Each structure stands twice: as structure tokens, then as C-alpha cells.
Amino acid sequence: MPYSIVRAGHAELLVRDLALSRRFYEDILGFVVTEESEGRLFLRGVEERHHHSLVLTESDVPMLGHLAFRVAEDDDLDAMASYFQTLGCHVHFIEDGEEPGQGRALRVQDPFGFPLEFYAEMSPAECLLQKYHLHKGAGVRRLDHFNCFVSDLASCEAMWREGLGFRVTEYVETDEEPRVKKAVWLQRKGNVHDIALMEGRGPRLHHIGFWMDDIGSIIRTCDILGGAEMHEHIERGPGRHGISNAFFLYLRDPDGHRIELYTSDYLTVDPDHRPIRWSATDPRRQTLWGHQTPESWWRDGTVVMDWERNVPVELCGTTDARAAGYIK
């Protein structure tokens, strides 16, 4: 592979009320504001050393602006542009600073409709990890991963694995022959995932996952939301995933974008690390504790932006989680 993706880098969410979203992300989740420009907020977790891992952009229509990955070197961007062109995608570059804090970046609407960005450089920002007295709310540490609904899972997995060099750590599969994959977790940075793909009506973002320091911080987030009578933001959890072993909590932000607070997964750096297979009928894959997943979690997702037209990409595939065998 002529290029090297380092990790999931940042995401941009379009939100309808920036002040309202700011309260959610800054006061409740504990993000730090690096920069505020007209209609946009650049946020980072307390561990992060760069300008942003989350961008909130005010917009009439809530959607995913883009998902961005950090690559090792600027040259990688050109090689990746060629790769996406072989897939028939239109690519373009934005200049250093066009997205505040970020160097030159490649932008592409991938064959599955996702607005992706790749960049090698981002300006440094102060790491507040050890300034514990400044941590607020959940004290989110750093971006961990993206999770997406895609209608053609097999092809999309092939792009991320073979084309972009991600490695599979876990997957869900039907038991009947021919076995069909229903979801797959792929990583670059050495834990369970930088991106997960789930079969469903796509292209849609299922959630953005942020790393937390420990289980106690996640419990405290529930209490803070409960105390503030904002419990309706809690969609699912806390619980322990079978897949990834993570301790998790799923929240819905004021626009319904889904955020996962995530901790306690495992190391996957070994080259012979073997993917774990889960049967699509095993309830422990969802939570090791056997909890039922609320229907909204299977059903809802965030539409993604068409970069040329600034409107959501049209969906295809099925949303019927029951048909997909997820809900009985």
C-alpha cells in the first residue's frame, strides 16, 4: 500500500442550533473549544493535542458534514486521490487552512456516498489531559471511531480493507450458508476500530465514538444528564458490548446525532491478530449482559452531506432492522 492511514481524525456534524449543541458538547460531554468562527465550533477532547476532533457547523438541515482520517504524510494524499479516482470518484483538494487548523486535505465522496476527508497535518493545541481541574462533565478524552450504515456491506468492507489498508478485528455473520456478513469492525490505530460498517439503509452515520478514561466517568455522565433532567439524551446503556468488549453509553445530541462514550476495549497491534466472529443471532454480541437494544438504535442514523450540492445524499438499502434479523 503506497500510503498509510493513521487513525480516525475528526468529524463534522451539521446542527440546527449551535448554542444548544455547544451546551451539550461543552458542558455535558466536556469537549474543549479550540476555535469559534462564524457558525462553526472546533472542539477537542481533553487528551487531544490537535486543533479539533469534532466540528459543529450551524445549518438548517442536520447531517454529517464529513468524516476525516489522519494519514502519515502529505504525499499519501496524492496516492489516495489516485486510488479514489480508480474507483470512479471525483476528488478535490482543499488548501492548508481552508478548514481552520488543518493542512492540505483530500476530499472525496466515496462510492458508497460518504463524504470523506484525508489530511496529514493539523495545528497543535494544548493537551489538557493533566489539567484535571479544568475537566468538565463527562471529560471526553479523544475521538475513537466512526460507525456507519452502508447498503452494500461487502463492497464497502473491501474498499476499507484492501483499498485503504484497514484490518478487521470483529464481524457479525449469519449462520446459514451462504453466510452473509452483517457488520464489520476495522482498525488502523491498534484498538478495536477506527471505523465500523453495519448493513443498513445508507449512506448514514450511525454514531461517532469517543474514548473515555473509565467506567466511572460514563456512569457520572448518566448522573449528570439525569440530574439536569436531560435523561432523554440517553438512548442506550450503560452496558458492556460483547463485540469490542467496550463499556458503552449511547447518547443522542440535540439534533439526534448519536454519540458513543466508549472505553475498555483491547489491543490489536499484532499482525496475526485474528478477527472474532459473532453469530447474528447471538444476543451477547450486542451486550454481554443480555440487555435488549432499543429499536431506535437499530433504526436511526444521520444522513450524510453531498459535498457538491450541500444536501443529504439519497438513501438506498433497507432500514428494516427486523428484516435484517436484528430485532425479533
Binding mask 121-160 for its own copies (x = CB under 8 A): x--x----xxxxxxx-x---xx------------------
> Smallest gap, in angstroms, from Cβ of residue 198 to its own copies?
21
Give Cβ neighbours of residue 246 (< 8 Å, ≥ 6 apart): 192, 240, 262, 263, 264, 265
Give the span between the Cα atoms of 63 and 16, in whole angstroms: 10
327 binds its own copies (CB under 8 A): no
Q: Is 79 in the site for its own copies (CB under 8 A)?
A: no
Least Cβ distance, residue 243 to its own copies (angstroms):
10
C-alpha cell at 181: 456478513
d(CA 189, CA 80): 18
Q: How far apart, in whole angstroms, are the C-alpha atoms of residue 55 and residue 39?
A: 10
CB 280 within 8 A of CB 325: yes
Which residue's CB is nearer to its own copies, number 90 or number 231? Answer: 231
Query: Among residues 38, 176, 177, 232, which is the contact residue for its own copies, using CB under 8 A?
Result: 232
CA-closest candidate to residue 26, choices 6, 7, 10, 46:
46
Site string (193-212) toward its own copies, x via CB under 8 A? ------------------x-
CA distance 17 to 174: 41
Site for its own copies in 273-292 (CB under 8 A): 273-274, 283-284, 287-291
213 belongs to the binding site for its own copies (CB under 8 A): yes
If binding is defined by CB under 8 A, does position 7 make contact with its own copies?
yes
Q: How far is the CB of 129 from its own copies (least distance, A)?
A: 6
Taking the C-alpha atoms of residue 262 and residue 214, their distance in angstroms, rounded to an integer, is 9
Q: Is the peptide bond before 203 cis (omega within 30 degrees of 0)?
A: yes
| Positions 32 through 61 that interact with its own copies (CB under 8 A) | 47, 49-50
Q: Give CA–CA dist 227/206, Å, rounded.
A: 27
Nearer CB in complex with its own copies: 56/120: 120
Residues engaged in binding its own copies (CB under 8 A): 6-7, 27-28, 47, 49-50, 70, 72-73, 121, 124, 129-135, 137, 141-142, 189-190, 211, 213-216, 219-220, 222-229, 231-232, 234, 238-240, 242, 245, 247, 264, 266-267, 269-274, 283-284, 287-291
